[in-house]
A and B are shown apart, each in its own frame.
Chain A
């Protein structure tokens, strides 16, 4: 073997930030090759998916609207994963946030007032947090794996949507479609730039990320999350409760996923429909990793993943690339990122042929 891995004394700061960029670039190159090999226009696919959303200014508003939920959920997940709490049911917590907001919107349908939207948002945040409390409780009380419980609850939450919009919440004027009525004006998220679809959720996402960054890097809470995740024994010795950390990590990530859900239903959707679960909760897992579990990094990662979503739609109409291709590109980013992690912890050394016999 002409090369050898040598453990670094300290993780490389440079590699921590260089590997996400390299992962995206490698995905573009390898993606172009693979899609050419299986008979698509590979270079065209990469151009449409990664570049068109950036160069075409009409697509910028789409980018903002798609990035907002990814950033909000990704920030929550980055906090949880830092603490080694594996909440992968953000999609379900997003759904519950959306349903809780819908409930308030329908209950206040004949009312008006500036308090309705804040009440919806509060309900959404609580809905997401409560749904995340279930795996947290089982983890803390019975040591049940949170990965499995939070994921199973996601599947269950989707069925809850189907039930609610088929029977109790069905639009009486909906001609039999399983969906709720369109929300009243007071229950809709206002757009912030007239003439575009950019809604209040976009600045909220940036605000959430910056606040989370501040809390994670400047407060005891953030310190506790990081220590429990990185060195559980030291954390116990230092008096940080592991159970409390699990609760906090789950509730914060659930609350943020719920916030994303209610913003999404009050903004782009304005009613509850069967297509409400759009995989933001799963893509946000990639966002959290690509952002290096750092809230500010999550902003950039959220925009990159939003680019692939918007670009995937572009490629569907312009070059007939199936929508599923987006998922492959997103998974490839994560693969390359995880593979690149080894460069953070190790350096590659050339070994002289005469010396080593291994």
Chain B
């Protein structure tokens, strides 16, 4: 029992950034936009959050800066795809290439300079008992990610704003003809997705490894994009999916730490496992039913009203 507790805590740490980024992408895709630049926005958020924590030591400010940086990066994507109706796939790829280069350039002066990890949200007295640590032992982004699962579900399902957003994603021309601003809604969604990706990126230096490393998000942004498909655009399934991947990554960490039955398999295979698992999961989900049936009908298509 005792041995499980550090495993749970590692698992939560691994799952949280993927969950946050995937939740943002879910809202973007519900509005009918496919932004493949999640990995790039996460990296910009990671370096911005790192730098803010380095200079101020205030992790909440660092998360805010991460969110702003991710949102600002997403505006490049928004402008190109929404205002200039550029190809979304290509623009998303360009955004990831840009974010990778930008974060590496901005992060170069910070290499080998550690920062302080974010502290747990609740006072340590609450988490003295091991079982309570599993409940109260995390920092704010973890609880925020749970809250956002519920909030996004509620917004999409129960509010007028959510209805409009889904209408824009399902049938942009109809939404336009009854007077909603397709572009406005999509801009808002894209910026929200950017902010969530930025927070997710900032979690890497603030929660996981308190140092700057180039490409430190290591493809997690792409796994987040895959998870949205896996969850068939449903927030609570996203939660389950993110923790499934967190589990795979936790096993990798334990296998690398050495010893135990996990280290029989070469460490490289463990490192490759999250990516292979993504493929397997995508295939399984497609075998079970036609995954595309639940996709927003306008996903990835530019909005071209014939005015």
In contact, A163 and B268 (Cβ under 8 angstroms) = yes
A48 to chain B, nearest CB (A): 15
User: Mask for A313-330, Cβ within 8 A of B = 1, else 0?
Assistant: 000000000111111101
Per the bound structure, the CA–CA distance linking A138 and B229 in Å amounts to 15
Given contacts A286-B97, A334-B90, A339-B86, contact A152 B275 (CB under 8 A): yes
The answer on a CB contact under 8 Å between A147 and B97 is no
Contact between B36 and A163 (Cβ–Cβ < 8 Å)?
Answer: no
Stretch at the interface among A60-68, A123-131, A153-161, A184-192: A153-161
Quick one: closest B residue to A155, CB to CB? B275
Q: A159-B272, A342-B86 are contacts. A148–B225 as well, Cβ < 8 Å?
A: yes
B87 touching A341, Cβ below 8 Å: yes
Contact of A335 among B76, B85, B226, B269 (CB under 8 A): B76
User: Count the A residues whose beta carbon is within 8 Å of the partner chain — how many?
Assistant: 42
- Contact residues in B for A339 (Cβ distance below 8 Å): 80, 84, 86
Supposing A142-B286, A160-B268, A342-B85 touch, asked if A152 and B98 sit within 8 A by C-beta, the answer is no
Interface residues of A in 268-298 (CB under 8 A from B): 282, 285-286, 289
Neighbour of A324 across the interface among B85, B105, B269, B282, CB < 8 A: B105
- B287 located at the interface, meaning its Cβ lies under 8 Å from any Cβ of chain A in the complex: yes
- CB <8 Å contact, B93 and A285: yes
Q: Which residues from A are CB-within-8-Å of B76?
A: 335
List CB contacts (< 8 Å) of B56-115 with chain A.
Answer: 76, 80, 84-87, 89-91, 93-95, 97-98, 100-105, 108
CB of B267, distance to nearest CB on chain A (Å) = 8
Q: Give the distance in Å from the alpha carbon of A163 to the alpha carbon of B90 in the complex.
A: 32
Q: Is B291 part of the binding interface, using a Cβ–Cβ cutoff of 8 Å?
A: yes
- Tally of chain B residues near chain A (CB < 8 A): 44
Among candidates A86, A142, A323, residue contacting B283 with C-beta atoms closer than 8 Å: A142
Q: Which residues of B contact A149 (CB under 8 A)?
A: 279, 282
Q: Which residues of A contact B283 (CB under 8 A)?
A: 138, 142, 144
B272 neighbours in A (Cβ, 8 Å): 155-156, 159-160
Contact B269 A163 (CB under 8 A): yes
> Is B271 part of the contact surface with A, judged by Cβ < 8 Å?
yes
B292 is an interface residue with CB less than 8 A from chain A: yes
Chain B residue numbers with a CB within 8 Å of A144 are 279, 282-283, 286, 291
Interface positions of A from 109 to 164, Cβ below 8 Å from B: 134, 138, 142-145, 147-149, 151-153, 155-156, 159-160, 162-163
- CB contact under 8 A between A145 and B282, given known A152-B275, A286-B97, A338-B94: yes
CB distance from A280 to the nearest CB of B (A): 13
Q: Which residues in A have their C-beta under 8 angstroms from that of B97?
A: 282, 285-286, 327, 330-331, 334
Contact A88–B93 (Cβ < 8 Å): yes
Contact A338 B87 (CB under 8 A): yes
CB distance from A37 to the nearest CB of B (A): 13
**A199→B188 CA distance, assembly (Å):** 51
Quote the shortest CB–CB distance from A316 to chain B (angstroms).
11
Task: Give the distance in Å from the alpha carbon of A163 to the alpha carbon of B226 in the complex.
Answer: 26
User: Can you report 5 A-B residue pairs in the complex whose CB atoms are below 8 A from each other?
Assistant: A143-B292, A148-B282, A151-B219, A152-B278, A285-B97
Interface residues of B (CB under 8 A from A): 36, 76, 80, 84-87, 89-91, 93-95, 97-98, 100-105, 108, 214, 219, 222, 225-226, 229, 266, 268-269, 271-272, 275-276, 278-279, 282-283, 286-287, 290-292
Given contacts A142-B287, A322-B104, A328-B98, 17 further A-B contacts (CB under 8 A): A134-B279, A138-B283, A143-B286, A144-B282, A148-B222, A149-B282, A152-B226, A285-B97, A286-B94, A324-B101, A324-B104, A327-B98, A331-B95, A331-B98, A338-B87, A339-B84, A342-B85
